[in-house]
Every structure is written in C-alpha cells, then in structure tokens.
Amino acid sequence: MRRPIYSDAAVQALADGETFYTPNRGVPELREALAKYNSELYGVEIEVDRITVTASGMSAMMLAHQLL
C-alpha cells in the first residue's frame, strides 16, 4: 500500500531538520516574495520589514488591534 504524499513530505522534512517553528513574522523568503509582488503590482517600493504573515485573518486583526 502506497503512503500518502504528505507522509513522504513529513519524512523528508524531518530528514532535512525542518522541525522548528517558523519566525514570528513569517518565513523570510515568503515575506520577500510578497514585498516584490506587491511592489510590482502597485508600482511602489514595499520594504520586507513592513510585512508580517499571520496564520489567519483573525490573527491579523488581533495583531492590528493590539498595535493600536
């Protein structure tokens, strides 16, 4: 019986040492890609430090509320 693809991915992640939490503000490569995409889309330079990736919309709203 073939294992599901996510089982293979989990085994590979463990073998690669990817067993820790990601940075609080999000994976740097993702934040860089989002900054580049939005900069190209809107024609305005957006710095990576201005981007935070959250786990959900509710988390983003709670974070924004706490900042106010």
- Predicted pLDDT at 1: 67
Cα Rg of the chain (Å, integer):
17
Query: How do the pLDDT tens digits run along the chain, 68 residues long?
Result: 677 888 888 899 999 988 888 899 999 999 999 999 999 999 999 999 999 999 999 999 999 999 98
- Predicted pLDDT at 22: 87
**54 vs 65: CA distance, rounded Å:** 14
Domain ranges of the chain: 5-67
Count Cα neighbours of 23 within 13 Å in the Cβ-side half-sphere.
Answer: 11
**53 vs 28: CA distance, rounded Å:** 10
